[in-house]
């Protein structure tokens, strides 16, 4: 069992990440941990794994954890055997088999006589049995590293498995193996992922926010349904507050007009009655005090409603404010943008594709490139964009303006501030206030404008990239999205889906996220 009580984590710079985390995880539970980018999901997994210490709170765990991180660069200098924590065991086992039965070797092996069989089975299951146990991790691809750490689950037999975005670098075949493992295992799981197919295989969803965790008993579809109900209620609350604000302002105006009429009427009566000036002055002061008191009461009520509305609107996702608003005049639907006949690519050790390719792309098409890792999807993209030349065949291209967006949103310059990055795309010479208005629409308020781009999360980089394209105004002939959702949470994936669906030009997508592909209205798939 895992118990977290009143857990908090504060960054070294004294910034609070999260607080009041209460969570109980029972044996054999399968939990999805969700929440917006930057809210601390990975940090919480690291605390449970023992890699970080909480700033305060109670943390009790009586299960042996195994952690599969999202990023593997820190392990590049070690070998595969070291990463799997079996180097010493294997060495001891082989020495014992060779007759060197020492106390030290027996201690290292720790009665784990089947470690080599489990290793072979694990590598075979994840289809990486061609790897050399003593090669450094730096020689592996992202997908191979992920599969290697997943293979470590089978080898180390943990009681609790912590998975941080395990599907990020896997192709469709690898993802299916991951789904099969999650469905079949009885091991306790806590999974951070934006892959909705994976999340639907888990039976509890825990939503992390700055001030705690809320548990929803069900898979992701159930959670999404509950959140939709909450969101609808939230929108109704906003509408109700807006209506109350309008009524309060109308009432204030009516009372003010009525008071002005009564005051004017009263003054005329007083003048006709010939009251002394001192009495009239006293009555006027009394009326003004009464009017001022009423005005203060209404102002306080209106200010209260305004503040409540501002707070509620800040919580709204703001998807409806994000629009490209491109000038599409230069896009001619159906025009042939790219045609390749009988093409192939030579890496120096042979041709990439067993059969030469014929590819034709017309303006306005939405195409997905699919295939296993290493099947040539990125190479074909580079050929279409004119970055790489073919070894055989002929190419025709009428692509004048293409935008390539990868999973890291590398078009964003980390050396610039958010405002400076937006200004880079200001080809139509918009005024400063208009650029800032566009940034606001894409949820970059004033406090973001001077922030360095290097400090942005994956979702923020994606929104800034979309904002820059919107500022550029001119619709590109082609937008290429290369695994665009890998570093996005689900809310930001929905934002990307909504905004991309406004684009009328040609879209080429490489993605293993089936929900994202389903949402962007594809016309066809090219399988490699």
Q: Give the per-residue pLDDT at 264.
A: 63
Bigger pLDDT: 410 or 34? Answer: 34
Q: Give the per-residue pLDDT at 153.
A: 92
Q: Any idea which of 263-272, 344-353, 385-394 has the lowest mean pLDDT?
A: 263-272
Q: Give the per-residue pLDDT at 202.
A: 93
Read off the tokens for 36: 């917006």
CATH 3.40.50.300 for domain 336-527: yes
Read off the tokens for 124: 């075979």
Q: What is the SS3 assignment for 59?
A: strand
Q: Any idea which of 65-69, 95-99, 240-244, 342-346 has the lowest mean pLDDT?
A: 240-244
Cβ-Cβ contacts under 8 Å for 26 (sequence gap 6 or more): 1, 188
CA 226 to chain centroid: 20
Q: What is the overall mean pLDDT for the chain?
A: 82
Whether 235 has a pLDDT exceeding 80, the answer reads no
Planar angle of CA 96, 100, 103, nearest 5 degrees? 85
pTM of the predicted protein model: 0.67
Phi, psi angles (nearest 5°) of residue 213: -130, 135
- Distances 257 to 284, 294, 503 between C-alpha atoms, Å: 17, 12, 51
Do 63 and 221 meet the contact criterion of CB atoms below 8 Å apart?
no
Supply the DSSP string of 344-407, one letter for each residue. Answer: E-B-SSSBSSSS-EEEEEETT-EEEEE--TTSSHHHHHHHHTTSS--SEEEEEE----EEEEET
Bigger pLDDT: 189 or 240? Answer: 189
Q: How confident is the model at residue 460 (pLDDT cuts 50, 70, 90)?
A: confident
> Model confidence over 94-124: pLDDT tens digits?
899 998 889 998 998 888 898 889 889 999 9
Burial class (CB in 10 A: 0-12, 13-18, 19+), 73: exposed
pLDDT > 70: percent of the chain: 82
Q: How confident is the model at residue 184 (pLDDT cuts 50, 70, 90)?
A: very high
Q: Any idea which of 101-110, 148-157, 253-262 has the lowest mean pLDDT?
A: 253-262
The CATH code for residues 2-218 is 3.40.50.300
Q: Give the per-residue pLDDT at 220.
A: 87
Planar angle of CA 227, 232, 236, nearest 5 degrees? 145
Whether 18 has a pLDDT exceeding 90, the answer reads no
Q: Give the per-residue pLDDT at 177.
A: 92
User: How far apart are alpha carbons 99 and 93 in whole angstroms?
Assistant: 10
Q: How confident is the model at residue 327 (pLDDT cuts 50, 70, 90)?
A: low
Q: Give the per-residue pLDDT at 292.
A: 57
- Average of pLDDT values for 35-64? 87
Q: What is the SS3 assignment for 159?
A: coil
Read off the tokens for 196: 């909705």
Q: Give the per-residue pLDDT at 274.
A: 57
Spans of all domains in the chain = 2-218, 228-316, 336-527
Whether 270 has a pLDDT exceeding 60, the answer reads no
User: How far apart are alpha carbons 275 and 279 in whole angstroms?
Assistant: 7
Name the E strands within 36-194.
56-61, 65-68, 160-164, 188-192
Do 31 and 206 meet the contact criterion of CB atoms below 8 Å apart?
yes
Q: What is the Cβ-side half-sphere exposure of residue 322, based on CA atoms within 13 angstroms?
A: 25
Read off the tokens for 150: 């997943």
């Amino acid at each position: 069992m895992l118990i977290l009580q009143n857990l908090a984590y504060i960054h070294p710079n004294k910034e609070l990440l999260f607080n009041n985390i209460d969570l109980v995880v029972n044996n054999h539970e399968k939990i999805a941990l969700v929440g917006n980018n930057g809210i601390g999901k990975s940090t919480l997994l690291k605390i449970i794994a023992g890699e970080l210490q909480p700033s305060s709170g109670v943390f009790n765990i009586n299960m042996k954890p195994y952690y599969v991180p999202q990023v593997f660069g820190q392990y590049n200098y070690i070998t595969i055997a070291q990463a799997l924590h079996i180097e010493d065991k294997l060495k001891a086992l082989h020495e014992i088999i060779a007759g060197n039965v020492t106390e030290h070797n027996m201690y290292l092996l720790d009665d784990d006589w089947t470690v080599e069989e489990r290793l072979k089975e694990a590598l075979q299951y994840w289809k990486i049995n061609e790897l050399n146990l003593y090669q450094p991790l730096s020689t592996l691809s992202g997908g191979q590293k992920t599969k290697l750490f997943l293979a470590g689950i089978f080898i180390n037999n943990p009681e609790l498995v912590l998975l941080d975005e395990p599907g990020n670098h896997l192709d469709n075949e690898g993802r299916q193996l991951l789904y099969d493992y999650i469905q079949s295992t009885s091991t306790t799981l806590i999974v951070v992922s934006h892959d909705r197919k994976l999340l639907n295989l888990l039976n509890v969803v825990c939503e992390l926010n700055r001030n705690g965790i809320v548990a929803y008993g069900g898979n992701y579809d159930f959670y999404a349904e509950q959140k939709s109900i909450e969101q609808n209620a939230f929108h109704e609350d906003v509408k109700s507050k807006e209506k109350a604000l309008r009524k309060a302002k109308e009432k204030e105006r009516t009372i003010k007009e009525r008071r002005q009429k009564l005051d004017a009427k009263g003054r005329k009566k007083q003048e006709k009655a010939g009251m002394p000036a001192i009495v009239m002055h006293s009555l006027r002061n009394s009326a003004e005090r009464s009017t001022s008191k009423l005005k203060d009461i209404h102002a306080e009520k209106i200010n209260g409603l305004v503040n409540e509305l501002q707070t509620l609107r800040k919580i709204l996702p703001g998807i409806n404010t994000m629009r490209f608003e491109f000038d599409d005049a230069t896009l001619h639907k159906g025009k042939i943008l790219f045609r390749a006949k009988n093409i192939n690519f030579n890496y120096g050790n042979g041709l990439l594709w067993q059969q030469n390719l014929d590819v034709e792309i017309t303006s306005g098409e939405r195409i997905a490139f699919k295939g296993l890792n290493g099947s040539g999807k990125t190479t074909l993209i580079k050929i279409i964009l004119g970055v790489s030349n073919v070894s055989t065949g002929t190419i025709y291209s009428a692509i004048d303006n293409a935008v390539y967006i990868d999973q890291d949103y590398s078009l964003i310059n980390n050396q610039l501030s958010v405002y400076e990055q937006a200004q880079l795309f200001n080809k139509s010479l918009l005024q400063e206030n208009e650029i800032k208005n566009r940034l606001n629409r894409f949820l970059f308020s004033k406090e973001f404008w001077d922030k360095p781009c290097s400090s942005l999360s994956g979702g923020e980089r994606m929104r800034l990239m979309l904002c820059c394209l919107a500022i550029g105004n001119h619709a590109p002939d082609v937008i290429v999205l290369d695994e665009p959702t890998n570093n996005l949470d689900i809310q930001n994936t929905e934002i990307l889906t909504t905004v991309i669906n406004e684009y009328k030009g040609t879209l080429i997508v490489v993605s293993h996220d089936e929900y994202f592909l389903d949402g962007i209205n594809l016309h066809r798939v090219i399988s490699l």
